[in-house]
Amino acid sequence: MEMQKNKHKKLLIGIIVSCFTLLAIYLGLAIYFMNHFYFGSTVNCINVSGKTVHEVDEEMPNEITNYTLKLKERGNNEEQVKGNEINLKYNPDGKVQELKDKQNPFNWLMSLLGTNDSTITNVVTYDDELLKKSIDNLSCFNSNNVNEPQNPSFEYTDDGYKITDEVYGNKIDKMALHDSIVNAILNGKTTLDLDSKDCYEKPQYTSKSQEVINTKDTLNKYVSSKITYNFGDKTEVIDGSIINKWINVNNSLEITLDEPKIKEYLNSILNNYNTVGKRRNFVTSLGATVQVSGGDYGWLINNNDEEKELISSIKEGQSVRKEPKYTQSAMSPGSNDIGNTYVEVNMSKQHVWFYKNGSLIVEGDVVTGNVSNNTSTPTGVYSLKYKQRDATLKGQGYSSPVNFWMPFNGGIGIHDASWRSVFGGRIYLTNGSHGCVNSPYYLANTIFNNINEGTPVVCYY
């Protein structure tokens, strides 16, 4: 029993001694922290644990003088901003003493748990002009080292358009970098990751942006178009393989069609099917083949209207089979567009033939334009403009009434010539007309009664 009492007594004494020891330690450290900073205290990220305000004020200038901020850039590049280059100076302005005053020495135990009264920043000053100059001198702003950010682009393939991912590049937002560096300096940071602080300019869109996806869908709609032009037994097809070369997409994802390129391409194919004024091989009534060029007869496509319709079809994503719009039509499709109804004027032979639906209706000698005074009848293939009974032909020094008037080239036409009793031969060389085809009454009458507006008139030597 006595032994048990002794054990209790010793235990009690041990507890009392331990408590007094801990109290002594606590009070001792409380006295210590009356003049010293808490454990874990920092000034501009520099550990000042256990130091006095005076010691901090003495040591900080050296720390600040040696300050360097490391900039971590894309591509594993690193650069530095040094304190001595921007006139960085320690300037506590009473803030260090304020921090110490906030630290109740008897609350030193709480500092071990971390408190808001253990850290202070913004105790330095710097020259902002020098900082801006230092930033300007960074190699990341050298134009040779800068890659601009790029929006996603669009690549045409056999399967339509594909999105090519955006390019982030390494172009820095100078204002953002300046602000991030200032913040790091004032807070005593020694490393600044430019990526994590959003110091880089970004592309406006990414490949996942809905606007980009919508643009791709519109592009694929455009190139899904297929326009087939029918030219008799020939066709010309405009599809995505051609259309994609006309499409432009700007940085704002606006889609435009290159109208000058469209016009150039359309002209290159459609003009092949225009026959007005082109050289033709013509088989004469005498069996020879002659080449006849000039005149106003033939096919003439309205390229401007076709361009508008083509652009509309592309924007609607249409598949269309069509004949082009013609400003002027010929009697027969294709390049051999004269057909089998025409007037043939052989000026060397001074003879005219008129065929209708392949059958010879009438033929006879004529007198064409006067060669000696430069009023020769022009060669070429022309279209009969109209026909008129009982017209009076007027010109400089003459007024001639005719029974049958069939103009095909301005004021030049086929008509009867009652003032002539002889036709053919070599009359036209010195006593020809003012350019018209003077015909005997029977010839002009028969042609007049069988010919229609638009019929080709072939004139050749």
Listed residue (412, 424, 418, 421) closest to 444, CA to CA? 418
The token duo for 308 is 């508008």
Q: In 10 A of CB 307, how many CB atoms?
A: 17
Non-local CB neighbours of 426 within 8 Å, separated by 6+ positions:
350
Q: Which entry of 140, 199, 415, 459 is annotated as an active-site residue? A: 415
In what helix (H) or strand (E) does residue 71 lie, and over which residues does it extend? strand 68-73
Contact status, residue 381 vs residue 297, Cβ threshold 8 Å: yes
Quick count: other Cβ atoms within 10 Å of Cβ 240? 21
Please, how many CA atoms are within 13 Å of residue 270, restricted to the half-sphere of its CB? 24
Catalytic entry in 140, 199, 436, 459: 436
Q: Is residue 383 classed as helix, strand or coil in its secondary structure?
A: strand
Q: DSSP for 329-380, please give it.
A: --SSSSS-TTTT-EEEEETTTTEEEEEETTEEEEEEE-B-B-TTTT-PPPPE
Joined together, the tokens standing for residue 94 give 């009473």
**Is 199 a catalytic site residue?**
no
Helix (H) or strand (E) holding 241: helix 240-243
Cβ–Cβ contacts within 10 Å for residue 429, how many? 12
- Tell me which DSSP letter residue 38 carries: P
Element at 27 (helix H, strand E): helix 2-32
Contact (CB, 8 A) for 123 and 92: yes
For residue 62, give the amino acid letter. Answer: N
End-to-end CA distance of the chain: 156
Amino acid in the structure at residue 64: I
Which of 370, 343, 302, 332 has the alpha carbon at shortest distance from 443? 343
Helix, strand and coil content of the chain, in percent to the nearest 5, comes to: 35, 30, 35
Q: What is the CA radius of gyration of the chain?
A: 50
Query: Annotated catalytic, 436?
Result: yes
Q: Could you give the residue numbers annotated as active site? A: 415, 436
